[in-house]
Copies of this chain bind each other. A is one copy, B any other.
Amino acid sequence: MGIGLVSSVLSKSSSLSTADYASVVSINLFVTLLCACIVIGHLLEENRWMNESITAIAIGLCTGTVILLTTGGKSSRLLVFSEDLFFIYMLPPIIFNAGFQVKKKQFFRNFVTIMVFGAVGTLISFIIITLGASQLLQKMGIGHLGIGDCLGTLTLFPFLQYFVLDQDETPFLYSVVFGEGVVNDATSVVLFNAIQNFDLANINYNTVLKLILNFFYLFTVSTLLGVFAGLLSAYIIKTLYFGRHSTDREVAVMILMAYLSYMLAELFDLSAILTVFFCGIVMSHYTWHNVTESSRVTTKHVFATMSFISEIFIFLYVGMDALDIEKWNAVKSTPGKSVGVSSILLGLVLVGRAAFVFPLSFLSNFFKKTANEKINLKQQVTIWWAGLMRGAVSVALAYKRFTLSGHTQQQKNAMMITSTITVVLFSTVVFGLLTKPIVRLMLPSQHLGRMLSSESTPKSLQTPLLGNGLDSEADLGSPDVPRPTSLRMLLTNSTHTVHHYWRKFDDAFMRPVFGGRGFVPFVPGSPTERSGHQWH
């Protein structure tokens, strides 16, 4: 839209170098488009078919077309952003906000289910996609697809699209599908490292053991780093009590510490997503209660806003990038193949996801006591479907993987990226349009949201993970929970027990040191409880 204008201005601009000027132009364009997306997204709020991500993709596509036409089909280079942008600036606020706003009760109650879905499920998916893709694509004559490429495809599909599953309406499904995505990142990092360090051709018992240990090491260290950053911020703010002098310091420290946890994890090759997610959880449990009331309102909204802007930005970028002429030129000679690859990938992902959602749900149900706690078929279908939906994060991750898997095989990479874009566009638009109605069809009654499922996998898996000092916040001991007295209760209701001890530990040791709800000195003139209620 601003291109004709832009070229006329370009000649005037003597004080800015060309590179600077191009970035000024693209920032202007992107900020304008972001505003447009927000306004249009607001106007379409009541529309049951549309959502903000589809709007952003549509606007991105239109802009891309206009740029292509204006520049005479030469390039869309005007709008090339570094892929780093996603991982250094866009991703942290999205994941942090997810951790900050997640319903901790739900998340930790379903912790083992989430872990199993995230770790085992990703592995199953990975194997199916790797085998399927290498067999099918070899038959098409594209040559052997690297394992890294499969991993790229795999990480396409971890995250829930937030707009579709509402945390308030379907807390169980939300926590499972979203949590699975977070754990998925850790699994992906482990697999990615494994591919580089191990010879996967001859897998033996030792390799598998190493992989599993590696996963638990990475998971534990990443989580601990996030927890540590969160606790440190809580301790600093509680001890120094910044609010006495300036609200801005509190907000600044929270933002900076959260970001620092992500960047540190990135520095040490950990799963930065896990780290910043747990940092968000700890910050909302401790730090957030230690700051002044205006800081509380500010942080809550500012994290949500940053996440919101980042998500729209990513979808906008995907829409625009879909028309990148260079990537399409690379696969121009083989349009049929490109379509074929896209279809195969899409199919494999559908199958791969089905291959672990249904069996693992069955396994999970096997350990459940009451019918109410089991994951019924409709819910299983929703988990399968919702997990397929492309979230902003998965798009960003796909870009990351393909950038990282090396530029040595340009032709194949271009093929994979165009296929990825096709899959992303197709699934976001088509699945996205269908998901709202499907979720409503599958889960018609609102009270399904109340159906909480407790975990049932053996305790041995659970203890080391829940031992990290993080557990559900559920107010246990509520009268409607029957209290079995046998050993079987200990196994089936183990999180309840763990949670009970966690609460005691939290109240006795953690909260007095790190603050938290009810453990901060009352500030005269600051109605502490008022906004606290809105929040939880």
Known: A27-B263, A263-B31, A267-B28. A39 touches B236 (CB 8 A): yes
Question: Is A507 part of the contact surface with B, judged by Cβ < 8 Å?
Answer: no
Beyond A31-B260, A196-B14, A301-B298, whether A25 also contacts B308 by CB under 8 A is no
Contact A260 B38 (CB under 8 A): no
Q: Does A45 sit within 8 A of B, measured CB to CB? A: yes
When A23-B88, A35-B256, A268-B9 are in contact, do A305 and B15 touch as well, CB less than 8 Å?
no
When the two chains form their complex, are residues A32 and B249 in contact, meaning their CB atoms are under 8 A apart? Answer: no
How far is A15 from B263 in the complex, measured between Cα atoms in Å?
A: 15
Determine whether A216 belongs to the interface, using a CB cutoff of 8 Å to chain B. Answer: no
Whether A252 sits at the interface, judged by CB under 8 Å, is: yes
Choice from B23, B39, B42, B245 contacting A45 with Cβ under 8 Å: B245
Q: Could you mark each residue 285-297 of chain A with 1 if its beta carbon is under 8 Å from any beta carbon of chain B, else 0?
A: 0000000001101
Q: Please determine whether A305 and B255 come into contact, CB atoms closer than 8 angstroms.
A: yes
Copies of this chain, how many? 2
Q: Is A253 an interface residue (CB 8 A)?
A: yes
A43 interface hit (Cβ, 8 Å)? yes
Quick check: B301 and A24 within 8 Å, CB to CB? no
Residues of B within 8 A of A236 (CB): 39
Q: How many of chain A's residues touch chain B, expressed as a range? A: 35 or more
Q: Say yes or no: A242 contacts B301, CB within 8 Å.
A: no
Q: Please give me the residue from chain B that is nearest to A26 by CB atom.
A: B263
Which residue of B is nearest A192, CB measured? Answer: B15
CB distance from A186 to the nearest CB of B (A): 14
Cβ < 8 Å to B, chain A residues 244-258: 245-249, 251-253, 255-257
- Say which residue of B193, B252, B294 sits within 8 Å of A38 (CB atoms): B252
Interface set, chain A 132-149, CB cutoff 8 A to B: none
CA distance A259 to B32 in the complex (A): 10
Residues of B within 8 A of A297 (CB): 294, 297-298
Restricting to A1-31, which residues have a CB under 8 Å from any CB of B?
9, 12-16, 20, 23-25, 27-28, 31
- A301/B251 in contact, CB under 8 A: yes
CB proximity to B under 8 Å, residues A266-292: 266-269
A240 proximal to B (CB < 8 A)? yes
A149 to chain B minimum Cβ distance, whole angstroms, is 15
Is residue A331 contacting chain B, with contact meaning CB distance below 8 A? no
Given contacts A196-B14, A248-B308, A305-B248, contact A38 B253 (CB under 8 A): yes
Q: Determine the distance from Cα of A45 to Cα of B268 in the docked complex, in whole angstroms.
A: 35
CB of A34 within 8 Å of the partner chain = yes
Indicate which residue in B13, B24, B246, B304 contacts A88 across the interface (CB closer than 8 Å).
B24
Given known contacts A248-B304, A305-B248, A31 and B267 CB-to-CB distance under 8 angstroms = no
A249:B196 contact, CB within 8 angstroms: no
| A302 contacts B260, C-beta separation under 8 Å | no
A192: chain B residues at CB < 8 Å are 15
Q: Counting CB contacts under 8 A, is A209 at the interface? A: no
Chain B residues with CB under 8 Å of A84's CB are 20, 23
Q: Cβ of A498 < 8 Å from any Cβ of B?
A: no
Q: A267–B308 contact, CB under 8 A?
A: no
Kindly state whether residue A487 has any CB partner on chain B within 8 Å: no
Q: What are the residues of chain B within 8 A of A240 when measuring CB–CB? A: 39, 42-43
Residue on B nearest A15 in the bound complex, by CB:
B404
B residues within 8 A CB of A38? Answer: 242, 249, 252-253, 256
Cβ–Cβ < 8 Å partners of A302 in chain B? 251, 298, 301-302
Say how far A134's CB is from chain B's closest CB, in angstroms. Answer: 22
Q: How far is the CB of A395 from chain B (nearest CB, A)?
A: 19
Residue of B nearest to A12 (CB): B269
Q: Give A13 Cβ to nearest chain B Cβ, in Å.
A: 6
CA distance A192 to B14 in the complex (A): 11
Q: Does A309 contact B (CB under 8 A)?
A: yes
Q: Decide yes or no whether A264 CB sits under 8 A from chain B.
A: yes
Q: A32–B256 Cα gap in the complex (Å)?
A: 8
In the bound complex, residues from chain B placing their C-beta under 8 Å from that of A31 are 256, 259-260, 263
Q: Give the chain B neighbours of A309 by CB distance below 8 A.
A: 252, 255-256
A446-483 CB mask vs B (1 if < 8 Å, else 0) is 00000000000000000000000000000000000000
Residues of B within 8 Å of A242, CB to CB, are 38, 42
Q: For the complex, what is the distance from the CA of A242 to the CA of B13, rounded to whole Å? A: 37
Can you offer 7 A-B residue contacts whose CB atoms are under 8 A? A31-B256, A38-B256, A41-B249, A255-B305, A297-B298, A298-B301, A298-B302
* Chain A residues packing against B (C-beta within 8 Å): 9, 12-16, 20, 23-25, 27-28, 31-32, 34-35, 38-39, 41-43, 45, 84, 88, 192-193, 196, 236, 240, 242, 245-249, 251-253, 255-257, 259-260, 263-264, 266-269, 294-295, 297-298, 301-302, 304-305, 308-309, 404
